[in-house]
Structure 1
């Protein structure tokens, strides 16, 4: 496969919009014919297609770098470890975390949320404690909290939304109380695309003494993420929705919380010393990455981040806003059509 050179954000833009044909050229699958027509893929919310920059990175990794990481004493293991940890540094930059140790590679958002529910929830929750989850959440940000609530005797409470698909902030404020330990909230709703005011909701939760877990699966492909500015305690995202391979995602957690949490799974790599008398655990992030990790797809995740940066995440967001404005203008021409949400 011949390499297609990536362009800078300025080169991608034609006037004030993206040069879509140039971007389509980065996705070979879009040359496929479906029912006699060139493929127009509109299911990116479920899973995005992969650009050449990602597929060639995977091919290069398997051809020249593959081995196990962190435990080998040979050249290929050194190469694989360097590639894997470089991807972690890229992920840190993508969410603007303070340090790479706050980045845990997981299979995706679902596993990231389950990890927090199990490890943090098992450590902190007790009978009568409350977990707030919004009405607009994906099942992956509802069921893990129900499961840990059953095990700990805590209670899951629902934050309602209005008819326009937006969280009712007054109700959210009223639900926060001294028993609230966790607020689990989506950054961008998977159903309507509602963008929640995460920074303000985090501030309100912290004022009540709660930690905030953010589902950023639908936010990561569309808007710049800054966990320092948001001040969220945990944030999970999936690679496959943002041009990376399937089976890889990122969980960000504040270092002091991750360091205090018990492990999520046991196995190789997450240990410091094992004996039948007792086991001591590795430092973060490896404490939460039991077994051989998904090395290749983590490297592919790093390539996907670079691909988005080369286009410009803000440029992507501006282009999507133009499309949204156009759709709204078209919808307003039909009096019998009701539009839910503003996204």
Structure 2
């Protein structure tokens, strides 16, 4: 798509470079889930068209104010139309992103102390969509996800039935997508269910908004009478490509926010008249709730960002997101060191959170170490931590309440105000941008694979900070990577910043250099490293971390011992890993929720053709096709060594004999079987029973 290339070419900083411990690297930005990148085309319009006639709003006499007000009003209408808001909905710009929009909504509800609501939230909520509701609710009911990673609507309905008896205000606050896994949740079905029991339906689109179609007032055959109309949606515009320096957005039913005639932030621009003793607020909700000088240029930029997304079209973006997701899953499914979090059967955008396991010890690599390697070796910008969604992160990592309390205790500052944040569990996260060229996507996927397989070998060359959780190469400090400073600016006729380096990146060359770095790490020089490790052993804080029973990651000194001895016997003590990431029911069968978001469905796969070439599509079709192809693969893979027949059975098919056929490759068949066992799929189990191979869905 030409427009995708146009977007990529316009990214400010696309060809930026930095000097790291392994030489100069191009920056590959994969952190759009946290914040987008600015676009030259949008900033150029701001500079040439908006700023020359910029003036404050709140007046209609001078040309500057009139033109600026016109731009801002037009931006609001672009947003209103893009998201299907009506005259019954208020479109409100909020200066501090999604968090500010949620607080604006809470203020607008005007709940009394005697009317503390019951609030229902999903398992995946970001802290911004959880903590404000905890402060005002009589209780917060957290709805778990089901075996496919979706919100459990049966549990939600049961909880709504119980809560309705209390005669309190009921509020449902759910994320449209997880910022950890990218999972897309069933917004229309949940909204209709909330309304059935008289609850408000509020939706956090912070993660989903740059990718999906947002409909404030959707209609469908299933919900023809407005049952799925949302009461409020909110998100941060800065997460869009082109979105830096844009405000948050709240779209809310006027009937909801008009419950409070006093604005959330009173001041200039919110009033019609003020005398010495009293004042009269504006009746227009949108004007009343944007007190003071608004984020004027930021709001105009938001309109341009959404206009660009509308031009690309939601349908194309979502189709491409699915393709990127499937590509990554396909490439990473045979990398046992890589532990991807979340369900693979739920609809999702191309956001991936993962841990890397050292197979010989079972320990993980620290997420900040992994992100440091991605940066230092490949220039890839990823993010480590819990993604400000702590409860869901603990669900995905397999941390129960008891273990969570133990981590809370160990992370609390001691009498010397020292914290061991290095012990805090987390993961690495990146996303694959839909506008990135194919060669860049392939580069990112292959770089993650390389670090999953060889990253542990770099541990002896890195040092950790037990108090902050940071990791850095021994030869560098983070401050040394910083290339610019505001303090060095002089206001004269010279430019205020360095000219960008526009050299293009050679992805294959970068991958080759990465291989050389890993090869050099395997070969030493270990005599230099041992002195560094010895110094680490003398650090009391590092020693305390290493001995702590809650430690879950491999230490540099342990990696060095493995590299030196090439054997764990007598070198590496047995360590009980405190948690194990949750495994989902990844049978790759499409759910009704996938059909809601994805427009194409692969054709069913039969026993004909080359199985090795069709594994991916097979794993995304129905159970019947899965079993047919599995029976075929087993029969053909084993037919060379035995003439015994192989039967299969399932909960869905009657027992029958596997069709005969020619062997098409033992490796392809067994790779497929092992993959399904590893993913704990419903689709098929492999059971040996004498001379028979049975395929049984009940075995998993």
Unaligned residue ranges in structure 2 (runs of 5+)? 219-227, 349-700
Tell me: CA distance 1:337–1:200, structure 2 relative to 1, closer, same or farther (3 Å): same
Tell me: CA distance 1:299–1:183, structure 2 relative to 1, closer, same or farther (3 Å): same
**In the TM superposition, what whole-angstrom CA distance separates every residue of 1:146-182 from its partner, at most 9, and x where no partner exists?**
2223xxxx22221222465432221111111314521
Number of equivalenced pairs: 322
Match of 1:138 in 2: 126
**Aligned-residue offset at 1:190:** 0.9
CA distance in structure 2 between the aligned counterparts of 1:74 and 1:181, rounded to whole angstroms: 47
Unaligned residue ranges in structure 1 (runs of 5+)? 1-9, 13-17
TM-score normalized with structure 2 length: 0.44
> Equivalent residues in 2 for 1:261-272 (5 A)?
261-262=260-261, 263-272=263-272
**Aligned-residue offset at 1:58:** 2.4
TM-score normalized with structure 1 length: 0.87
**Aligned-residue offset at 1:337:** 5.1
Asked which structure has the greater RCO (Cα within 8 Å, sep 6+), the reply is 1
Tell me: CA distance 1:61–1:257, structure 2 relative to 1, closer, same or farther (3 Å): farther
> Equivalent residues in 2 for 1:226-305 (5 A)?
226-229=215-218, 230-242=228-240, 243-262=242-261, 263-282=263-282, 283-305=284-306
Kept in 2: contact 1:239–1:248 (CA 8 A): yes
Match of 2:59 in 1: 71
**In the TM superposition, what whole-angstrom CA distance separates every residue of 1:235-259 from its partner, at most 9, and x where no partner exists?**
0011110122335121001133233
| SS state at 1:78 partner | helix
**Aligned-residue offset at 1:273:** 1.9
> Equivalent residues in 2 for 1:26-105 (5 A)?
26-35=10-19, 36-61=24-49, 63-99=51-87, 102-105=90-93
Mean Cα deviation higher: 66-75 or 98-107: 98-107
CA distance in structure 1 between the aligned counterparts of 2:130 and 2:64, rounded to whole angstroms: 42
Kept in 1: contact 2:108–2:260 (CA 8 A): yes
Kept in 2: contact 1:71–1:77 (CA 8 A): yes
**In the TM superposition, what whole-angstrom CA distance separates every residue of 1:305-333 from its partner, at most 9, and x where no partner exists?**
12222222221221111110111212333
Tell me: CA distance 1:224–1:327, structure 2 relative to 1, closer, same or farther (3 Å): same
CA distance in structure 1 between the aligned counterparts of 2:131 and 2:278, rounded to whole angstroms: 33
Match of 1:170 in 2: 154
**In the TM superposition, what whole-angstrom CA distance separates every residue of 1:57-105 from its partner, at most 9, and x where no partner exists?**
3213553221111225211110111011111111112211113961001
CA distance in structure 1 between the aligned counterparts of 2:113 and 2:81, rounded to whole angstroms: 31
Mean Cα deviation higher: 126-135 or 286-295: 126-135
Kept in 2: contact 1:159–1:171 (CA 8 A): yes
Mean Cα deviation higher: 130-139 or 165-174: 165-174
Match of 2:343 in 1: 341
> Equivalent residues in 2 for 1:142-221 (5 A)?
142-149=130-137, 154-162=138-146, 165-176=149-160, 177-178=163-164, 179=168, 181-221=170-210
| SS state at 1:228 partner | coil
**In the TM superposition, what whole-angstrom CA distance separates every residue of 1:212-243 from its partner, at most 9, and x where no partner exists?**
11101111101111111041100001111012
